[in-house]
Structure 1
């Protein structure tokens, strides 16, 4: 089989190594003829020697694919992205030239869902707030959770039946937990198939001990969790956000957390990053992580393996398992 000319475009050569373990790189090299250069953001120009590129393998830090950039690769047929969202990368010029796009969003959903499951179980025990209090006061008795804590029989509300939302619901199946889901595109039958009850957003917020957000950032979802929505949540309930910071009204959340009525676990914020000294850093009920729910460390190799699988599928059959089309772009994260 003649190997297809291909080019890597991402933030660094090191990221290439992190994505492709030895076995994945060997498979990739057997399928495509990779150009020696890696197109990184600090490149002064796109080498003319890459003009024959038919497959572009991108990752974080890849260039925006507008007309002038695409002009460098007149034979480009497909872009295989080694990360989740392609919104910052893809332009209408891609579709106009008939170039196909594949994303590793499904592979990147795995660690986000695992992070969410872990924080749901910890939040059910009020363990995160207790840890903050214990660290601050160093009083074991005073820091212990009180009241109706624990995961047995609680209700968890999932906002958004996205890839990640669906995987979270699947991970929750073995537990003694009731699941609610809110997604305007979902039917009650489909929700039941996911192991959840389809409800309105107000009902989900009112009934759930833990609420986790997995909706895309769209004009209609901007600050979908605002002051009125937070007021519906029960005392002691937890809001988890691994989606996009703009889905939550930060000021309204800060006001609720100041009363110690709610808890929040935030892997994303608005703004992001938060400025030094922001109230969220010091509020006892807030647990902040620095945007780590997605693939990091050895999890990057899952993305690399997904890319190689997709490249192999494309060069052998012309098909893509995780293709992103122009209509998809309007409703994905």
Structure 2
């Protein structure tokens, strides 16, 4: 008996993720593809081999169970994984990406959201909005508050961007619009690209020493874990602002806490060594810090763009058209 040509699509999204990344319009587009299986209920109860049997493409996102070697072996027809979130590091075996299965990810759509958040963090510190707000709540004098917190212009600052990743480049574009001088440390950035971006290349130590603001945009890899330790943090200028919206593991936590307690530097932290923070975590009360709960990449608009983009990738794949967000096998080691 001849086996039918596989053509199905599986939507492996939790109810929460589905409500974030899919609109009624994108759901209609999926249904229009025909032979679509929608995972339902708790992911713990999903029978992945059954959901993916005969399926050529699947849509995944936050909360999707790992598609391990056993799943890929049992589902040989699966040719495309369209991931509506960012990192694919824990989604499936990295050696399978671009070889056993084509993988697309929405990380590029998240970059704008993170970049805007980073600029918001920087501006909040430069204008000391949290201190102005607290002062008014406490009844401080109008003129006294303006005298104590006069603020600084972003365009007058030198900003060091560690990592010319997609997000790093999105941040650079916004910084250039403000007129900031931008230093970049990234061994993969060549001189021509730096010139196109309008930035100055620098090694990490030089960047830390010359920057008023430092923002991190590198993936967490064995080579970048604790990239900033006590020595590197000690090389920051007095009064420098350190922004981390990438991964908490990029900075030695004990060294950062020690610096922050002295008040010599300030920090805007969206990520932490362990997440979510425990109720009694020291990070919740860390002085000279603005903190947020890993929120940089999350906006209603970016979520919907991510879902729509990955549905478009599935449509292109089924029409045998070039994909826009496919991850090449050689890129995997450098991805977050």
After TM superposition, the structure 1 = structure 2 runs for residues 242-321 of structure 1, keeping only pairs within 5 Å, are: 242-321=245-324
Separation in 2, partners of 1:49, 1:237: 51
- Secondary structure of the structure 2 residue equivalent to 1:219: coil
- Secondary structure of the structure 2 residue equivalent to 1:173: helix
What is the CA deviation profile of residues 197-233 of structure 1, one whole-angstrom value per residue up to 9, with x for unaligned ones?
1111111111111111000101111111111111111
TM-score w.r.t. the length of structure 2 is 0.89
After TM superposition, the structure 1 = structure 2 runs for residues 96-135 of structure 1, keeping only pairs within 5 Å, are: 98-128=100-130, 130-131=131-132, 134=135
Separation in 2, partners of 1:194, 1:93: 32
Matched, 1:230 2:227: no
The answer for the alignment partner of 1:15 in structure 2 is: 17
Q: Structure 1 residue aligned with 2:83, among 77, 81, 84? A: 81
1:93 Cα shift? Answer: 6.6
1:137 Cα shift? Answer: 5.8
- Secondary structure of the structure 2 residue equivalent to 1:124: helix
Separation in 2, partners of 1:40, 1:180: 46
* 1:170–1:195 Cα contact (<8 Å) kept: no
* 1:3–1:30 Cα contact (<8 Å) kept: no
1:133 Cα shift? Answer: 5.8
- Secondary structure of the structure 2 residue equivalent to 1:228: helix
Separation in 1, partners of 2:236, 2:315: 47
- Secondary structure of the structure 2 residue equivalent to 1:42: helix
Separation in 1, partners of 2:219, 2:16: 30
Separation in 2, partners of 1:137, 1:83: 41
Separation in 1, partners of 2:331, 2:98: 15
Unmatched 5+ stretches in structure 1:
none
Q: Structure 1 residue aligned with 2:48, among 37, 46, 49? A: 46
* 1:169–1:179 Cα contact (<8 Å) kept: yes
Residues 40 and 109 of structure 1, relative CA distance in 2, 3 Å threshold:
farther
Separation in 2, partners of 1:131, 1:279: 24
The answer for the alignment partner of 1:209 in structure 2 is: 212
- Secondary structure of the structure 1 residue equivalent to 2:311: helix
State which drifts further: 218-227 or 42-51: 42-51
RMSD: 2.5
- Secondary structure of the structure 2 residue equivalent to 1:216: coil
Separation in 1, partners of 2:217, 2:97: 27
Separation in 2, partners of 1:284, 1:124: 16
1:84 Cα shift? Answer: 0.5
Q: Structure 2 residue aligned with 1:192, among 190, 195, 201? A: 195
